[in-house]
Amino acid sequence: MPRLFIGLELPAAQAQALVPLAEPGPGLRWQTPAQLHLTLRFLGELSAAQTNGVQQALAALRWDGFRLQINGVGYFGSPTRPSILWAGLADTAALQRLRDRLDARLATELAPDPQRFVPHVTLARCSSGAGSPAEFLARHRQLQLPAWAVTELCLFTSEASDNGSRYRVLARYPCVLPWGDTDCATADQTPGAGH
């Protein structure tokens, strides 16, 4: 059974701009451009009924488009044993509001997410031989890419393969109005009211 998560696709231009960061090294498994994304909420394996409930909640969610910008790099894990190298994001207030609204919508379908939300784009997964991320951080700490407009959420499936996880968009959920429009309604719809 595939695992599910809710996230944002990375535009092709931003994904390609991150490719030069993928320098070969021991213990590093770099994400391909097609694998790059931003996870808003990991769901895991869900029953058909739960998946249907999540899809209804996402269809009823109303949110305004906004802009995001990749800015800087970081890592999860310890300074001597990193687990993930990532690209960070600037000005994430609108993204956090979307995540909070998403959590509120999913509260009737799923248990609360125990993980603190740290907005990032995973660049590489690290095994025990990866060593310190200090050199990577020093080389790329000034990373800054052009901002892009976020106009839709995606429900993804994740399936393991020999080359890492394969992600497929199961459904897309557009914002109420794209970024830049000022007369956006921000109240959620009632479930089943359509979108």
pLDDT at 129: 84
Residue 21 identity (one-letter amino acid): L
**Six token digits for residue 2:** 């595939």
Distance of alpha carbon 9 from alpha carbon 57, whole angstroms:
19
CATH topology for 3-174 is Cyclic Phosphodiesterase; Chain: A, (3.90.1140)
Average model confidence (pLDDT) across the chain: 90
Say whether 37 is catalytic: yes
Out of 61-70, 80-89, 161-170, least confident range: 161-170
**What Cα–Cα distance (Å) separates residue 138 from each residue in 72, 133, 142, 144?**
10, 9, 8, 14
For residue 191, what pLDDT band results from cuts at 50, 70 and 90?
very low
Cα–Cα nearest to 156, from 144, 145, 171, 143: 171
Could you tell me the residue ranges of all domains in the chain?
3-174
**Set 41, 105, 120, 140: catalytic member:** 120
pLDDT at 29: 94
For residue 62, what pLDDT band results from cuts at 50, 70 and 90?
very high
Say whether 140 is catalytic: no
Q: Say yes or no to pLDDT of 194 above 60.
A: no
Q: Is the pTM of this model over 0.85?
A: yes
Q: Say yes or no to pLDDT of 184 above 60.
A: no
SS3 124: strand
pLDDT at 180: 57
For residue 113, what pLDDT band results from cuts at 50, 70 and 90?
very high
**Set 7, 10, 28, 37: catalytic member:** 37
Q: Say yes or no to pLDDT of 46 above 90.
A: yes
